[in-house]
Chain A
Amino acid sequence: MDTLDGTEWDVLIVGTGLPQSLLALALSRSGKKILHIDENGYYGGTEAAFSLQEAEEWEKHIDEDVSAAAFSNISITKSESAVSETTPSLSFSRAYSLALSPQLIYARSTLLQYLVSSKVYRQLEFLAVGSWWVYSAESDNMDNGEPSISSESGPRHGRLLKVPNGREDVFQDQVLDFKAKRALMRFLRFITEYEEQMEMWEDHRTKAFPTFLSEQFKIPITLHAPLLALTLSPSVSSQTTTEYALPRIARHLRSIGLFGAGFGSVIPKWGGMSEITQVACRASAVGGGVYVLGKRLSCIDGPTSADNSEEETSGFRLRLNDGEAISAQHVVGELSRPPISSATCCKSITIVSSPLPPLFPPIAEDAPPPACAVVVFPSGSLPLDADEQAAELPPIYIFIHNSDAGECAAGQSVLYASTTLTGEKGFQLLKKAVRALLLSVDVTPAPNVLWTLQYEQHPRPLISLLALDPDERPLDLLTDLAFDDSVLDHVKGIWQQIMGDSAGDFLVFEDREANQGDDDE
């Protein structure tokens, strides 16, 4: 195989996670000589998607893996049953494409606009996120006549309440009383232009959001959970501030209807964000970018021009893991040995033997069928054990992807669960939540857990711009559950610095093909 030794590049990009891949895409028509490497043998970095076999290899080799810094305590559990022919079982390894960092993409996200303007959306498929549900520990709600689902047989379990999907839903809701409805409608009207009504929330800015709901809008406690759910806040409710919650609820509500009736966010098919990273890298390769997997930046030897003046560095002398010395004008990417950081969340991926249809009611008449449902366990809704203060525990979020998402075999579904409680307790909490979810969905035969992967995730400085601005603060891509547009601002900033005056429009490209004349709306 060829060596990279002695090669010179305009830009070295380290890591094929989402931000780096988007940068590679942005530079794909720049004429710059780009070397894009990844220490792993696969694409996607922390956004990777795995088949069963790949996941098992990942579990085994994570210690040798440098991305160990981003993940820890990985373990896989296979269900021991599945021997008889009638019991459902796992399909073959490649029927699965399990995403390590699944995210929702809101319809208003600039990511979607850039995928369109750069034309790479043609190679992607997006599916609708349907219903949002909030778990309630009470199997029977006190003041409504709604029959609870099958509480006769089996263990006592909670139930899932659907989050009203905008104002029409609230109007039609049979459960809410008139006063609650009015309060909620007032809040929903306010949130459409909360930016202009600073006086309403100024005083509550850094205070708990539930307090704001109670004091400012008299919204009954029972309605706090669904509103908090829409924030996707990682914190317990008392630590979720008003200034954090409002823009996120607004983002949710303002996105509904943009791409079709009744839904506001989408997921990429075939393994979540990993699909976007690969489409971006492919576009960069078509533009001449050179890709090398299993390659790491091991150290920076110094500036290329060994002359005295400090200001005008013309690049860097670098060394890769196999000892190859290369040089590059700009270096962007993950630090190869990031500082050890403690985990910020526990995640689990569970393959379930049922498509769980009750979680996927049709969204609206002319909307596409949903491929993802969201179930939120509000903070405090699941006690860990008797002597534990349930109220202290953070919420748990579970994204359920059905097989339309292309991540599991037909007739199954994948549950992506996460919580910011870390360590063994976090894993316990996730297990409890998955069990509670499956119990509260009324399907026959009862769904089985076929396979589970659990891991802790650590925050990681994802992009640092070594060559241009040593002061640049590395971006901490939070383990956010919805794509955060600030990632793109960051990538754009780096792109601008690399491109200088010849920057032009960010991520705006013509179709590459000459023979585009035929159709394609």
Chain B
Amino acid sequence: MADSGATAQPKPSSSVKLVLLGEAAVGKSSLVMRFVNNDFQENKEPTIGAAFLTQKCNLPTRTIKFEIWDTAGQERFASLAPMYYRNAQAALVVYDITKPSSLIKAQHWVAELQRQASPGIVIALVGNKYDLASPSSGDSAEDADAAPAAEGENPEEEEGADARRVPTKTAKAYADEESLLFFETSAKTGMNVAEVFTAIANAIPETSLKGPRGVGGQTNLGRQEDNRVNLVGGRTEGPKEGCAC
């Protein structure tokens, strides 16, 4: 979906800084990899420090360019995250539906974001590894290979089955209480992955899209990105050396 080769039209485009947070091994990097490269690795190595990727998301009226910061869940000293969620407009807080402790950790992240991040930040709570909850053979056969866009479908049917340890209801109730977007996904099958990013893109208020990264509450009256000074290209001279364009 995102970066389909549709001919470049002068659709307004904005950057959105998005940060992924969550316990180690819940599948943050896998979600990003699915979104960016439509790919999945069975044994993905833990992220060290952080990773940075970008991906576009085409909405009907505009293009959103996600600048994605994927953090390391096993970050030992809890010192990095503040640098990544600073000025972020969106956060994807991930837990693993087979691991209740990861939801607790996710709730800690949500609380920290609400306390420290830009007030207008859009937060999505994501329960990953949905594929582990669906019985490979069973009643709800339609889910077996997770048809994309699980619209209107009710994952709660799977409750009690196999590896799932976090009921959808529990997480959903929490997300509603905190006004978070909520999805269950599978980076493995791709289920709901694009939907998460599209929902985030749609949830970012237009005002904060004009100048990227609204420090919350600011109304950026008609400001455009050309507010910024362009350091590369365009100009008559440009900095002499060092300017690699």
Residues of chain B within 8 A (CB-CB) of A285 are 49-50, 80, 83
Number of interface residues of A (CB under 8 A): 62
A257, A258, A404, A515: the one within 8 Å of B53 (CB): A515
Q: Write out, one digit per residue, whether chain B residues 101-126 have a CB within 8 A of any chain A CB (1) or not (0).
A: 00000000000000010110000000
Among A293, A368, A512, A513, contact of B79 (Cβ-Cβ < 8 Å): A293
In chain B, positions 181-196 with a C-beta closer than 8 Å to chain A are none
Contact B36 A259 (CB under 8 A): no
Contacts of B227 in A (CB 8 A): 127, 368-369, 371, 404
Q: Which residues of B contact A266 (CB under 8 A)?
A: 229
Give Cα A290–Cα B74 distance, bound, in whole angstroms.
12
Q: Are A406 and B229 neighbours in the complex by a CB distance under 8 Å? A: no
By beta carbon, the residue of chain B nearest A287 is B49
Q: A92-B217, A290-B49 are in contact. Are A1 and B78 (CB under 8 A)?
A: yes
Inter-chain contacts of A281 with B (CB < 8 A): 83
A290 and B77: CB pair below 8 A? yes
Contacts of B3 in A (CB 8 A): 518
**A113 touches which of B49, B215, B216, B239 (Cβ 8 Å):** B239
Complex interface bits, B48-59 against A, C-beta within 8 A gives 1, otherwise 0: 111111111000
The answer, among B51, B119, B239, for a CB contact under 8 Å with A108, is B239
Q: Which residues of chain A come closer than 8 Å to B221, judged between CB atoms?
A: 410
- Judge whether B232 and A121 touch: CB under 8 Å: yes
Give Cα A258–Cα B238 distance, bound, in whole angstroms.
6
Residues in A neighbouring B116, C-beta threshold 8 A: 94
- On chain B, the residues within 8 Å of A113 by CB distance are 239-243
B230 within 8 A of A: yes
Q: How distant is the Cα of A409 from the Cα of B218 in the complex, in angstroms? A: 6
User: Are A410 and B77 in contact (CB-based, < 8 A)?
Assistant: no
Q: Does B84 sit within 8 A of A, measured CB to CB?
A: yes
The reply on B148 being an interface residue by CB < 8 A is no
Task: Return the contact of A513 from the options B48, B53, B87, B216 (Cβ within 8 A).
Answer: B53
Contacts known (A270-B215, A282-B50, A286-B52); A291 close to B79, Cβ less than 8 A: yes
A149 within 8 A of B: no
A191 to chain B, nearest CB (A): 18
Separation of A295 and B78 alpha carbons in the complex (Å): 12
B244 close to A117 (CB less than 8 A): yes
In the complex, whether B69 has a CB less than 8 A from a CB of chain A is yes
Q: Which of B202-245 contact A (CB under 8 A)?
A: 211-213, 215-221, 223, 226-233, 235-245
- Give the nearest-CB partner of A516 in chain B: B54
Q: Does A384 reach chain B (CB closer than 8 Å)?
A: no
Q: Write the nearest CB–CB distance from A18 to chain B, whole angstroms.
A: 15
Contacting A at CB under 8 A, from B103-159, are: 116, 118-119
Bound state CA distance, A260 and B230, in angstroms? 8
**Cβ contact within 8 Å between A409 and B217:** yes
Q: Are A270 and B50 in contact (CB under 8 A)?
A: no
Q: CB-CB < 8 A to A292: which residues of B?
A: 77, 79
A selection of 17 A-B contacts at a CB cut-off of 8 Å is A91-B217, A92-B119, A95-B216, A97-B215, A113-B243, A117-B242, A117-B244, A257-B236, A286-B50, A368-B227, A406-B87, A406-B213, A409-B218, A410-B217, A513-B52, A515-B54, A521-B233
Known: A270-B87, A287-B49. 15 other contacts (CB 8 A): A95-B217, A123-B67, A125-B228, A126-B228, A258-B237, A282-B83, A284-B49, A286-B49, A290-B76, A290-B77, A368-B226, A404-B211, A410-B220, A508-B242, A516-B54
Per CB-CB distance, the 10 closest pairs between chain A and chain B, nearest first, are A113-B242, A285-B49, A2-B76, A293-B79, A292-B77, A126-B229, A117-B242, A291-B79, A113-B239, A410-B218
